[in-house]
Amino acid sequence: MRAWLRAPSLVLGICLLLTGCGFQLRGYIQLPAHLQPIQVQAQGSSQSLAQPLRQRLSASGISLAEGDQPARLRLELEALEQRETQLIFGQDEEYALELTLVASAYDADLEPLFRAERWSAERQYRYNATRDSVLARQSLKAELLRSMEDDLIDLLMMRLRSLELNREDQ
């Protein structure tokens, strides 16, 4: 009976230690009020990242500017480029995937906080033409691309967090 009572207090103690040392869930950021609300704009191929990014920002408790609402931070996703290179030819083929995002951020006065910065994510995969189906290859590639998009969103979230850190240093 006493062991049952110790388990919740042990979990509570671990949670307190983790929060006390600054632990945060992956992708979670905090931004001060002077950088909120954020407006996310996307152009061309980068539109596929806009909605997952908005969801991640919202899940972090960051307010988003909607429509014509004024924003204190405007984030522009300018380009998302995908490149696939075949590394090994033959029956067993190997491919390299690269996904590159170009983005800029501006404050409420449209002064650049960062301009046309690039982030890249890379993956490699193998494909056996006789053993694997084309559908399996396409499914694997789609899964890798989703994972790479998540990595790019993580990198962008860290860059947004660095805006506040840079401001604290000044």
Domain boundaries, the chain: 31-169
Give pLDDT, residue 13: 59
pLDDT category of residue 4 using cuts at 50, 70 and 90: low
131/57 Cα distance (integer angstroms): 42
pLDDT category of residue 169 using cuts at 50, 70 and 90: very low
Give pLDDT, residue 170: 46
Q: At which residue do the structure tokens 């401001």 appear?
A: 167
| Average pLDDT of the residues in 63-85 | 91
Give pLDDT, residue 18: 54
Q: What is the pLDDT of residues 24-56, one digit of tens each?
A: 444 456 666 677 899 999 989 899 999 999 999
Give pLDDT, residue 64: 92
State which amino acid sits at residue 159.
Answer: R
* Higher local confidence (pLDDT), 68 or 78: 78
CATH fold of 31-169, please?
Answer: Double Stranded RNA Binding Domain (3.30.160)
Q: What is the pLDDT of residues 136-152, one digit of tens each?
A: 888 999 999 999 999 99
Selection from 144, 150, 167 nearest residue 26 by Cα: 150
Residue 148 CB contacts under 8 Å (≥ 6 apart), including other chains:
97, 99, 121, 122, 123
Selection from 76, 75, 77, 65 nearest residue 37 by Cα: 65
Give pLDDT, residue 132: 80
